[in-house]
Amino acid sequence: MFSWVKDSRGSDTETMYQTVTDGLHSLYTRKLQPLEETYLFHDFHSPALEPADFQSKPMVLLVGQYSTGKTTFIRYLLEQDFPGMRIGPEPTTDGFIAVMYGENEGVVPGNALVVDPKKPFRKLNAFGNSFLNRFICSQMPNQVLQSISIIDTPGILSGEKQRISRGYDFAEVLRWFGERVDRIILLFDAHKLDISDEFSEAIKAFRGQDDKIRVVLNKADQVDTQQLMRVYGALMWSLGKVINTPEVVRVFLGSFWAKPLQNTENRRLFEAESQDLFRDIQSLPRNAALRKLNDLIKRARLAKVHAYIISYLKKEMPTLFGREKKKEELIMRLPEIYSFLQREHHISPGDFPNVTKMQEMLQHYDFNKFPSLKMKLIESVDKMLASKIAVLMAMIREEESKQPPAMVSGGAFEGSQDGPFGRGYGEGISAGADAEDWIVSRDKHRYDEIFYTLMPVNGKITGVNAKKEMMNSRLPNTVLGKIWKLADCDHDGMLDDEEFALAQHLIKVKLEGYELPNELPDHLVPPASRDGASLVPEVSAASPS
């Protein structure tokens, strides 16, 4: 576990660091921050990072139009109300609420929050009082919040309402949060799929953070299956116009509140989708260090590109006359300059900032005061990306191997982990686990009729005869081979009536869409094979296919 500090002679000396977080903070302050400060990166793109940005818990940002269930979703995860919570069909949440862990329940106003060095919100001070008056931190002792923090946002307006000014740059605030959170969840209502202009601008503010975005189609129980298919298709079409990526964004369907489903025909789908979403959120603490490392790499690449742009503009400026005219010309030619720098420095087009926004911001600067290109700063960042980051990656793997993976627990995450309401309990391969009888025996009379038509010899059928019958399922040979290995409990290459019934049961389980186990569960072992544990097969024996 190493970091690197310049000594008085200018050479790199190695110093021990206890955690990946310490290493990330050290790399940023010693390697990247000098480049950012020299080329005014903080004025153009993002404020400087602080220790709290590296040490904070993973954060989840919820964004959506009003009445899509953002606040209710938080209430559902925590399984209790939080201070400052308001729920209603109208736009009730009119500000940003950071829901965080605290020993004492209460609310911290925005102006007090941005001066707290232990919270990662100090740089929000730049958005002024109009924003800070609508920003609070809701603290409470909740087990879920010991692992993650959740950011609730104002309901995004639609139609005539979106013309009302918020008094601060809403999209820029979202962009600030988007750069720092671990997960961005866009919530949609099954009855409210239109993406307003403000919602579109909000989604565009997350440009470059596509890997963090997840979409939740909430209140999906309020439509039937046919309507749900149409709603899902319409949502994907709407998102495709706003999120300009070739990959399809992950959409979770469900009804995320603790009330009975209005339409239960898709209950199994909703349960599977909610479990997938829960697992995604639960994994955030485990992947937090990797996410911060990834964000630091993205920031370093943007800072390098920004340095090339600024230094090029400086180089092209005349010394004395015609400065304003040249400045206007360079701003107009910025797309061409981007293309030239791509070729000159072998930079990917995706690393460049938005050209229109860059042109607007450059209007306010004197290009002659820009610094020239300082290769030592660029080389320092290149060295960080080439070698130092690799060491931190090794540290992350080392930390993971030394301690159990951190997972979000408590609240709704506990309700479906174990017991009869856990995912898949009593279904598929788990069916019959608590039954006193052998579950296969319930259909064995039907399987026996087939068995005796296959001409058993001494009570057993050969692999050739069994294969002909099993192929009728149309399952692939790889699946049928696995079923054979599970069913042939005594490994003799033949099946008796119980083993054949077991094979037919496993085929039925697979055809119903469930996965097969690698080892046969105890409750599925045929009664005649239960005397010795050694008879329970693993998937390694030979099969007729």
Indicate the pTM of the whole model: 0.75
**Complete DSSP assignment for 269-281:** HHHHHHHHHHHHH
Of 488 and 4, the structure prediction assigns the larger pLDDT to 488
Q: What is the DSSP string of 137-167?
A: EEEE--TGGGT-EEEE-PPBP-GGGGGS--S
Determine the pLDDT at residue 163.
47
Place of tokens 């925590």: 78
E strand segments, 412-472: 460-462
Judged by average pLDDT, the poorest of 150-164, 448-462, 487-501 is 150-164
Please give the Cα distance from 116 to 94 (Å, whole number).
Answer: 23
The Cα–Cα gap between 101 and 58 comes to: 12
pLDDT of residue 534: 43
Evaluate if residue 477 carries a pLDDT over 70.
Answer: yes
Q: What is the 8-class DSSP label of residue 492?
A: S
Which residue has tokens 């958005």?
A: 127
Contact between residue 68 and residue 152 where contact means Cβ atoms under 8 Å apart: no
Q: How many CA atoms lie within 13 A of 22 on its CB side?
A: 12
**Burial letters 33-71, b for 16+ CB under 10 A, else e:** bebbebbbbbebbbbebbeebbebbbbbbbbbbbbbbbb
Two structure tokens written together for 186 = 């866009």
User: b vs e for 314-339, b when ≥16 Cβ sit within 10 Å of the residue's Cβ?
Assistant: beebeeeeeeeebbeebbeebeebbe
Mean pLDDT across the stretch 430-458?
A: 88
Q: Do 397 and 391 touch, CB atoms closer than 8 A? A: no
Q: Return d(Cα 239, Cα 228) in angstroms, integer.
A: 16
SS3 content of the chain, % helix, strand, coil (to 5): 50, 10, 35
- Picking from 140, 135, 143, 149, the residue whose alpha carbon sits closest to that of residue 181 is 149
Question: What are the Cα distances from residue 336, in Å, to 257, 305, 362?
Answer: 52, 15, 15
Please check whether residue 246 is in contact with residue 264, taking contact to mean a CB–CB distance below 8 angstroms.
no
Let me know: does 413 contact 144? Beta carbons within 8 Å. yes
Average pLDDT in the 89-93 region?
A: 56
Name the token pair of 149. Answer: 């923090």
DSSP 47: P
Euclidean distance between CA atoms 391 and 27, whole angstroms: 11
What does the pLDDT read at residue 9? 37
Instruction: Work out the average pLDDT over 134-152.
Output: 93
Taking each helix axis from N to C terminus, what angle separates 267-282 and 284-316, rounded to the nearest 10 degrees? 60
Which contacts of 162-166 are long-range, i.e. CB under 8 A and separated by 24 or more positions? 162/196, 162/197, 162/198, 166/130, 166/134
| Residue 367 contacts residue 10 (beta carbons within 8 Å) | no
pLDDT grade, residue 537 (50/70/90)?
A: very low
Spatial contact of 484 and 503, defined as CB atoms under 8 Å apart: yes
Residues 6 or more apart whose Cβ sits within 8 Å of residue 280 = 183, 214
Instruction: For residue 290, name the pLDDT band (cuts at 50, 70, 90).
Output: confident
- Pairing assessment for the beta strands 460-462 and 251-253 based on DSSP bridges: unpaired
Do residues 44 and 334 lie in contact, with contact meaning Cβ atoms separated by under 8 Å? no
Q: What is the pLDDT of residues 519-535, one digit of tens each?
A: 898 889 998 887 654 44
Q: In whole angstroms, what is the distance from residue 392 CA to residue 350 CA? A: 25
| The pLDDT value given to residue 4 | 42
Lowest mean per-residue pLDDT among 28-42, 185-199, 449-463 = 185-199
pLDDT band at 109 (very low <50, low <70, confident <90, very high): very high
Q: What pLDDT does 258 receive?
A: 75
Tracing tokens 């005349």 back to the chain, one arrives at 318
pLDDT interval class at 3 (50, 70, 90): very low
- 237: pLDDT confidence band, cut at 50, 70 and 90? confident
How many C-beta atoms surround the C-beta of residue 250 within 10 A? 12
Parallel, antiparallel or unpaired: strands 12-16 and 460-462: unpaired
